[in-house]
A and B are shown apart, each in its own frame.
Chain A
Amino acid sequence: MPHELSSAAGFEGVPEELIGHHFSSLGRQTEAMRLGMWLFLATEVLLFAGLFCGYAVYRFQFPLAFQESSRHLNISLGTLNTLVLITSSFTVAMAIHYARTDKPRAAALCLILTILFALGFLGIKAVEYAEHFREHALPGKYYAAEAVKVPGAAMFYTMYFLMTGLHGVHVIAGMSVLSYILWRTLQGRYSSRYSVGIELGGLYWHLVDLVWIFLYPLLYLI
Chain B
Amino acid sequence: MRLSESDSSALAGAQRHLSYLEDGTTVMSWLNTRDHKRIGVMFLAAVLFFFFIGGVFALALRMKLLQPGPFLMDALSYNRLFTLHGVVMIFLFLIPAIPSAFGNFVLPLMIGARDVAFPRLNLASFYIYLAGAAIAIFGMVHGGADTGWTFYTPYSSTTPTQVLPILLGAFVVGFSSILTGLNFIVTVHTLRAPGLSWMRLPLFVWGIYATSIIQILATPVLGITLLIVAVERVAGFGMFDPARGGDPVLFQHMFWFYSHPAVYIMILPGMGVISETVCAYSRKNAFGYKAIALSSLGIAFVGFFTWGHHMFVSGQSTFNAGAFGILSMIVGIFTAVKVFNWVGILYRGAIAFRTPFAYICGFLYFLVFGGMTGVALATTSLDIHWHDTYFVIAHFHFIMVGASMMAFLAGLHYWFPKMFGKTYPEGWGLVAASLIILGFNATFIPQFLLGNFGMPRRYYQYPEQFQALNVASTAGATLLGFGLLIILIYLFIALRWGPRCEANPWGSKGFEWMTDSPPTTHNFDEIPTITQMPHDYRTHEAPGVIGAA
Contact = CB atoms under 8 A, between A and B. Distances in A.
Contacts of A39: 182, 185-186, 216
A57 B252 CA distance: 13
5 contacts: A140-B235, A142-B235, A152-B245, A155-B244, A159-B239
B431 to A, nearest CB: 41
Contacts of B223: 47
Contacts of A54: 228, 239, 250, 254
Interface string A148-167: 00011011001101100010
Contacts of A48: 224
Contact of B220 (A44, A139, A152): A44
B114 A21 contact: yes
Interface stretch (B70-78, B115-123, B390-398): B115-123
B224 A50 contact: yes
B247 A57 contact: yes
Given A21-B522, A54-B254, A155-B245, 15 more contacts: A21-B115, A23-B190, A28-B190, A32-B191, A36-B121, A36-B182, A36-B183, A42-B217, A44-B220, A46-B217, A46-B221, A57-B247, A154-B238, A155-B244, A162-B228
A222 interface: no
- Counting contact residues on chain A (CB < 8 A from B), the size range is 35 or more
A62 interface: yes
A189 B241 CA distance: 51
Interface string A44-79: 101111110110011001100000000000000000
Nearest to A159: B239
Contacts of B250: 53-54, 57
B109 to A, nearest CB: 12
Contacts of A47: 220-221, 223-224
Contact of A32 (B190, B232, B241): B190
Contact of A140 (B118, B182, B238): B238
A20 interface: yes
Interface size for chain B: under 10, 10 to 19, 20 to 34, or 35 or more residues? Answer: 35 or more
B497 interface: no
Nearest to B217: A46
A62 B246 CA distance: 11
B225 interface: yes
B237 A161 contact: yes
B478 interface: no
B186 A20 contact: no
B182 A32 contact: no
Contact of A22 (B115, B189, B231): B115
A22 B34 CA distance: 11
A128 interface: no
A35 B190 CA distance: 9
Nearest to A153: B245
A158 B228 CA distance: 10
B84 interface: no
B227 to A, nearest CB: 8
Contacts of A21: 114-115, 522
B296 interface: no
Contacts of B183: 36
